Amino acid sequence: MCDPCYKKILTFDAFQTEARSQAIKIKQVSTPKRQSVVEQLVSSVEKLRLRNEHALGDKISETSKIATIATVYGMFMHNNNNKISAVQRLFTSAAIRYHADNKLLGVLNKVHITLSDNSKQQLLDSFATHSEENLIQTISSGIDGKLNGDNLDLRVDTNDVRMNNKAKDYHFFASDWVADRVSAKLEDLNDRSPVGDSNQLSYMNFIPTPAENIQFKNYLKVLLGRKIVYHMPEFKWMDKVIPDHIPHNLQQEMSTASQIFILPVLLKNEACYSDCLHILDSYVEDINRIYAKAGRGGELDKLQVPVGGDQLTRIRLEGALRKGAHTAVERFDQLNPFIIELFHTLQDFLEKLCKKFLKLNKATDKATLAHLKMVIQRSNVNGKVKVHFKAHEQFVDCAGTAYLLSLVIELFGMQNLHDSPIHDSIPDNVKMLHLERRGDIFNTVMDRVLRKTFIPPLQQDTEENGQPRSLVVQVCAGNMNPCQIESPVNENQITIKISIGEELYHLKASTDQYMTECIDYVLKTETLLTPKMALKVRAASFINPTGRPGHNKAADIEKENQAMENVLVDYTHIKAFSD
């Protein structure tokens, strides 16, 4: 960093005047931490001035005076440069976060905005070290966690295709560690015997009980009631009786921010069992190293860490076996159980829903999803949910909401969204009633709506699937499952959702793989696992990045975002791997 002071060192007096003015100018805009350095500079300049005035300066040479001031000024500039370097590191971090390549970093470095491109790897290494130190500190406090893993497949195309220059596919595996938020609840739970008896299993263990159906309908009243209040002003009186957040016994724990720690990205393909062994080896090595550093090495013999992922991840990692494994570490006994995650389950369910009801060749038939797609011009809705998930999710939610509002208009004799409802259960002075009375009316209204839209499992009539009314009801019923998964839930509510998801899967595709995953999830959390591990698995199915009530989301959707945001692989790195 160049400063005008260095250009004006002609005499001691000139340097003294310039240094004081520069120091005072910087002091006016600097932080309190910098002001101490500035004050030292001003104090040194003032002492030299007083010495000069009292004839002490006759014994000090002009060169020594300049050297003293230059030394103090250099100390200040060094401190200032450190702060500038910190700002550059922040800008560099932001540039890396949004995948800036080395060429762009080099250009920004020339104008002193970021660090050089050579510092990129050092900065990433410091991030990794900082993340591991925080993870060790968290584990040392007695908190355990859960591993989440997901594949990241990249394809590098080439315009100039030759025998030795073709498009290449690269397969990565990204992982993270999510700390438990329910550690206090886990302390008093049984960790020895399983929840249920595996010798007395029946199909009744995998479908919702009547009590769970009632509880599920109460949740739907809240979720659908919010939609009705938002779109229909005459139902505004329900706003006071609809809770902002669905209450449950883990509300406080689920409202805290999740601690998420990124683990190293592996150049491994989970579709290959040999690579799966390398992934599991990496997990076990990280667990043993980090727990040993955290001072909890004595717990490794009994430690079990859940591992979550999509359907392929669960099948491959759980099925990867090592020949000749004689120890618990070699058998990966510390990694248990392997469970499915909710976002991929929701994604697959949405795909089955679109496959069954979104008939693109029926766009001329009114009341069909294909016709609605054409009317509202959703060109990115083409049935390929995994490619355009958000577009299909919004479209199904939009169509389901439209069908719901149309049903409410019909049930309550309304002409449009702004008309007043006409029904014996809704008195004219409903807005003036007490909240308790309004709550009873709200339940009556929503029960009437749910009788038309909520279809109890194993009782669905699918003989008239081709009729518009039957399609409307089934789309409304199908839309309920995705819309309520995103709400904050406790462990029992998660199981209810998965159980109902099994039945809906069975109706849409009786041999679907994710229906099997739903059964696997319920089997483990309701029968095979201990109460302590079952609660841990259910609570860890959700993460809360912000630490606010109602901001929980599926853990694997956060993993999807991290994989795209934090796996910084540009073409030069890929060339290095391929070479």
pLDDT at 578: 40
Here the tokens at position 295 are 């001072």
pLDDT at 522: 85
Helix or strand holding residue 336 (H, E): strand 335-340
Task: Name which of 247, 201, 202 is nearest 222 in CA terms.
Answer: 247
Residue 401 domain flag: no
Here the tokens at position 90 are 């922040």
| DSSP per residue, 129-173 | HHHHHHHHHHHHTT--EEEEEEEEEEEE--SS-BTTB--EEEEEE
pLDDT at 485: 45
Q: What does the pLDDT look like over 23-70, one tens digit per residue?
A: 555 545 445 555 555 555 556 555 555 555 554 445 556 666 666 666
* Sign of torsion over alpha carbons 77, 79, 80, 81: positive
- Count Cα atoms within 13 angstroms, Cβ side, for 128: 12
Residue 374 domain flag: no
pLDDT at 486: 44
- Between the two ends of the chain, the Cα-to-Cα distance in Å is 39
Compute CA distances 306 → 27, 202, 279, whole Å: 54, 26, 15
* Residues spanned by the domain of 20: 4-115
Q: Contact 385/354 with Cβ under 8 angstroms?
A: yes
Residue 69 domain flag: yes
Task: Name which of 295, 293, 296, 283 is nearest 333 in CA terms.
Answer: 283
Helix orientation angle between 62-97 and 120-140, rounded to the nearest 10 degrees: 80
pLDDT at 151: 86
Residue 366 domain flag: no
Q: How many domains does the chain have?
A: 1
For residue 383, what are the contacts with CB-CB under 8 A and spacing of at least 6?
A: 354, 355, 358, 360, 392
Q: What does the pLDDT look like over 322-358, one tens digit per residue?
A: 888 888 888 999 999 999 888 888 888 888 888 888 8
Residue 260 domain flag: no
Residue 53 domain flag: yes
Please identify every stretch of the chain with a pLDDT value under 70, giving residue numbers as ranges: 1-84, 454-512, 559-579
Instruction: Give the residue carrying structure tokens 């550093």.
Output: 293
